Amino acid sequence: MTIIPAIDIIDGKCVRLTKGDYSQKTIYNKDPLEVALQFEDAGLQRLHLVDLDGAKAGDVKNWKVLEKIAGKTKLSIDFSGGISTQNNLEITFNSGATFASIGSIAVKDEFTFTGWLLAYGADKFIIGADVKEEQILIKGWTESTSLTVFELIDKYKLKGVKQFFCTDISKDGLLEGPSVDLYKKIINEHPSIDLIASGGVSTIKDLEELREVGCSGAIIGKAIYENKISLTDLKKFL
């Protein structure tokens, strides 16, 4: 199982939200590159970089942060937040992202996103499924939809997408443990995908549980910043 640390960006700073609430914001570091270098020094190879300003605006905003981290580290970066146009996508890849993590556009404009899959290759994309009670939320968790996580995976698995990350926003930022039962259910229904767990991870035991149920990766944010899990602790998963 791949450990993927998260850096969430607002106004160019490294922050964390609680349950996706922009009013519940904690700034952890004013320099995201410094944080990324710490992750790289610890032996981690992936990074989940989220442009929260972009997610809210529906337009990529913090691409300079992506460009800086991609230029100064060897981390494989998946970038998300506000990728809603061809121009946004080109900025994302030109700024150094390995993968584009797509949420809203995959839900709202299947035609456009399918075109991107054909143009760039499905292996360049990760579908981000943000869920509440198995229903998909979009636009930085501000808009609900009638689509379930299972329907979203069904649709894009057939189009060649392999990687999906799923965030249960009721767990996000609370350090109360991940949605293991939900992930188990998804993996049972879709054993061929690479499911990346996101939200709620607070202990090494949580990570061991996620590995046991078959998650291919786990995104960790607040647990690292709040010193619940140390970078040294994560070495057993490298």
- For the annotated catalytic residues, the residue numbers are 8, 130
From CA 72, how far away is CA 85, in angstroms rounded?
27
Instruction: Give 145's contacts (C-beta < 8 A, 6+ positions apart).
Output: 107, 135, 136, 137, 138
Tell me the two tokens of residue 167.
Answer: 């965030």
Cα torsion angle, 122, 126, 132, 138, sign = negative
Q: How far apart are the first and last CA of the chain?
A: 8
Which residue, among 84, 63, 76, 88, has the nearest Cα to 143 in the 3D structure?
84
Do 49 and 21 contact (CB within 8 A), yes or no?
A: no
Do 107 and 136 contact (CB within 8 A), yes or no?
A: yes
